[in-house]
C-alpha cells in the first residue's frame, strides 16, 4: 500500500482537541465495523432518554384532567342548565379552565428554536491554494524539507480544494506568532459571523441573555466571550460561558449548554459562537503527528441564535429535537488520542495517536446506537434488535451469510451534516452508514470549499443545504454529527419548522 493511501485514511476522523483535524498519517487501523459488537447498554440508554422525554407529555394531560374532574365532578348538566343565567357560575368554570390550561402550558417543557444562524466567509485575499500553502510554509523557514513534502502529500489526498482560507500570520518566519495575532483572527471571524446574524434576524443585542462561546486552543484573558460582550455592549446581567479544549465537538456541546440555560431562563435568547483560531493551533515544527492539523484546519466561525420564546416559533427555522453526547474519556487510549503537547524543541502542537481512527469509530458506534431509538422508525428498530440478538459465533455466521442488519438512517433524516474532517473519513462513514451521495454532498463540498473549520463545520454544511434553494422543507429532519478530543462523539437533531428559502446572506453565495 502506498504511503499516500495510508495518509489519507488516517486523516479521517478529525474532530480534535483544539478543533484541529486529527488523523495521524501513521495510523494503520481502520474504523471498526458498526455492525459488530454493538453494546446493548447504548441502545438501552437511548430508550431511557426516549421514555424520560415522553413521560411528561403522556402524564401531564391525564393529571390535569383528573384535577379538573375533581374540581367540577359534582356539577351535573342539570346544575349547569338551571344556573345558565347565573353569570358567577359561568365565570367560575371559565376561569378554572383557563387557569388549568395556563398551568399546563407554563409547566410543560419549552421547545428550543433555532431562529437563524450565520457563517463567516473570510475576505478573498486570504484564499489559499494547496500550492500556495506549501510555498508559504517553505518560505517561513519553520519546516525542514521532509516536513514540507509530508504536508504536500497530506494535502493532496485531503479532499480540500484551492479556495479555503488561511491567515497569513500563520506563516510568519521564526515562529513569531503572538497572542495579538490570535486575538485579531478571533475578532475577525467572530464579529463577522455575529454581524451577519444580527443583520438577518434583527435581534437587539440587549435582548440576548445567554452567551456561549467555544474555541479549542485560544483561551485569552479576558475571554473570547468577554471580547464579544465588550464589542457589542451586551447586557450587564448576561450569562456568559467560554468553553475551551473541546475540539470539533464543542459546537454541539455549546448548543446543549445553551438549551439547558434557556430552560432555566424561559423566554430568553441565547447566542452561541463556535470557532477555532488557526494562528493559535498552528504548529511550526517537524513532528509528523503534529503536522496533520496544519494541513486540515482553516479559518471560520458560526453564530447561532437560539430561543425558547413560544412566539418565536413562527419565525424560527428549526426546532431542536435531540442531543446525544458520547464521551470515551474514561478510557486512557481515548483520553490521550489527541493531546496538546510540546515537541523536543518546546514547540507546541496537537499530537495525534496512531489509534485515533479506531477510537473515533468506537465513539461514533456508541453514539449512533444511543441515537437510534430516538429517531428510527419502529420497524427499523425491530430489525436492529433482531440483529443484536445474534451474539458471538451466531453474529459472525449472520454477517458471513449477509444477514447482518444496519439500520437505515436515511429513514430517520432528510439531511445529514457530518463534520468535514477528511475525504477518507467521510467516505468511510458513507460506506458504514450506507448513505447516498446526496446525503454526503454538504459534508464533502464543505471540506472542499472551506476545509475543516472545527466546531463551526456542521453549520457551514447546513448553510450549504439551505443555499441550494428550498431543499429543506417543512418537517425535514437534520442530523449534525461531530467528534472531538477526549474522545467524544456528539449528535444533534433538528426539525424544520418551515420550508427554508435561499438565504440572502450565506458563505456559499458569491458577492
452 is annotated as an active-site residue? yes
| Catalytic-role residue among 142, 214, 308, 415 | 415
* 231 annotated active-site: no
- Write out the H or E segment, with its range, that includes residue 339: strand 338-342
Q: How far is CA 41 from CA 45, 48, 369, 388, in A?
A: 6, 10, 9, 12
Instruction: Say yes or no to pLDDT of 89 above 80.
Output: no
- Integer angstrom CA distances of residue 244 from 97, 135, 210, 253: 49, 32, 17, 11
Rounded to whole angstroms, the Cα distance separating 253 from 160 reads 26
Active-site residue identified among 13, 294, 452, 490: 452
Other Cβ atoms less than 10 A from the Cβ of 78: the count is 8
- Greatest alpha-carbon span in the chain: 98
Active-site position among 214, 215, 242, 248:
248
pLDDT at residue 231 in the model: 97
Is 248 known to be catalytic?
Answer: yes
Contact criterion met (CB below 8 Å) for 391 and 405: no
Contact criterion met (CB below 8 Å) for 11 and 151: no
pLDDT > 50? residue 393: no
327 given a catalytic annotation:
yes
CB environment 7-20: b (16+ within 10 A), e (fewer): bbbbbbbbbbbbbb
Question: Sorting pLDDT into bands at 50, 70 and 90, what band is 86?
Answer: low
Banded pLDDT at 469 (limits 50, 70, 90): confident
Cell numbers standing for residue 83: 344556573
Per the model's pLDDT, the better-predicted residue between 380 and 302 turns out to be 302
Q: At what angle do helices 423-433 and 356-375 cross, to 10 degrees?
A: 40
- Per-residue pLDDT tens digits for 319-367: 999 999 999 999 999 998 888 999 888 999 888 787 887 888 888 888 9
- Band (16; pLDDT cuts 50, 70, 90): very low
Cα(292)–Cα(11) distance, rounded to whole angstroms? 7
CA count, 13 A, side-chain hemisphere, 19:
35
Amino acid at each position: 500500500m502506498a504511503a499516500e493511501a495510508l495518509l489519507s485514511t488516517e486523516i479521517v476522523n478529525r474532530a480534535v482537541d483544539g478543533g484541529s483535524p486529527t488523523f495521524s498519517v501513521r495510523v494503520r487501523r481502520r474504523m471498526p465495523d458498526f455492525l459488530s459488537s454493538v453494546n446493548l447498554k447504548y441502545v438501552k440508554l437511548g430508550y431511557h432518554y426516549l421514555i424520560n422525554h415522553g413521560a411528561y407529555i403522556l402524564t401531564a394531560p391525564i393529571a390535569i384532567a383528573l384535577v379538573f374532574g375533581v374540581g367540577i365532578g359534582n356539577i351535573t348538566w342539570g346544575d349547569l342548565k338551571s344556573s345558565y343565567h347565573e353569570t358567577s357560575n359561568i365565570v367560575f368554570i371559565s376561569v378554572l379552565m383557563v387557569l388549568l390550561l395556563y398551568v399546563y402550558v407554563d409547566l410543560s417543557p419549552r421547545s428550543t428554536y433555532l431562529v437563524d444562524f450565520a457563517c463567516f466567509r473570510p475576505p478573498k485575499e486570504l484564499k489559499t491554494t494547496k500550492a500556495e500553502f506549501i510555498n508559504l510554509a517553505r518560505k517561513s523557514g519553520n519546516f525542514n524539507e521532509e516536513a514540507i513534502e509530508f504536508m504536500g502529500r497530506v494535502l493532496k489526498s485531503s479532499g480540500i480544494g484551492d479556495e479555503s482560507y488561511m491567515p497569513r500570520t500563520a506563516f510568519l518566519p521564526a515562529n513569531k506568532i503572538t497572542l495579538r495575532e490570535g486575538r485579531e483572527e478571533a475578532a475577525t471571524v467572530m464579529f463577522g459571523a455575529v454581524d451577519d446574524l444580527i443583520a438577518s434576524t434583527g435581534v437587539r443585542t440587549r435582548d440576548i441573555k445567554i452567551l456561549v462561546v467555544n474555541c479549542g486552543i485560544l483561551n485569552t484573558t479576558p475571554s473570547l466571550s468577554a471580547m464579544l460582550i465588550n464589542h457589542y455592549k451586551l447586557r450587564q446581567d448576561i450569562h456568559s460561558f467560554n468553553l475551551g479544549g473541546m475540539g470539533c465537538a464543542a459546537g454541539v456541546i455549546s448548543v446543549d449548554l445553551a438549551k439547558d440555560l434557556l430552560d432555566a431562563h424561559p423566554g430568553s435568547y441565547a447566542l452561541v459562537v463556535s470557532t477555532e483560531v488557526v494562528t493559535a493551533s498552528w504548529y511550526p515544527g517537524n513532528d509528523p503527528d503534529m503536522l496533520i492539523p496544519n494541513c486540515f484546519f482553516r479559518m471560520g466561525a458560526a453564530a447561532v441564535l437560539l430561543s425558547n420564546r413560544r412566539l418565536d416559533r413562527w419565525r424560527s427555522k428549526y426546532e431542536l429535537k435531540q442531543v446525544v453526547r458520547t464521551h470515551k474519556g474514561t478510557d486512557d487510549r481515548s483520553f490521550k488520542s489527541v493531546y496538546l503537547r510540546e515537541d523536543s524543541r518546546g514547540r507546541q502542537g496537537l499530537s495525534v495517536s496512531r489509534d485515533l481512527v479506531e477510537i473515533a469509530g468506537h465513539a461514533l458506534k456508541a453514539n449512533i446506537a444511543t441515537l437510534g431509538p430516538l429517531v428510527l422508525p419502529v420497524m427499523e428498530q425491530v430489525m436492529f434488535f433482531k440483529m443484536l440478538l445474534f451474539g458471538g459465533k451466531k453474529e459472525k455466521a449472520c454477517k458471513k451469510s449477509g444477514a447482518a442488519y444496519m439500520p437505515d438512517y436515511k429513514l430517520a433524516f432528510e439531511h445529514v451534516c457530518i463534520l468535514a474532517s477528511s475525504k477518507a473519513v467521510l467516505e468511510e462513514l458513507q460506506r458504514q452508514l450506507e448513505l447516498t451521495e446526496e446525503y454526503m454532498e454538504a459534508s464533502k463540498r464543505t471540506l472542499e470549499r472551506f476545509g475543516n473549520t472545527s466546531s463551526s463545520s456542521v453549520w457551514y454544511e447546513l448553510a450549504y443545504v439551505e443555499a441550494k434553494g428550498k431543499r429543506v422543507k417543512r418537517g425535514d429532519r437534520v442530523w449534525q454529527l461531530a467528534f472531538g478530543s477526549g474522545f467524544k462523539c456528539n449528535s444533534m437533531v433538528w426539525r424544520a419548522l418551515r420550508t427554508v428559502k435561499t438565504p440572502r446572506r450565506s458563505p456559499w453565495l458569491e458577492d
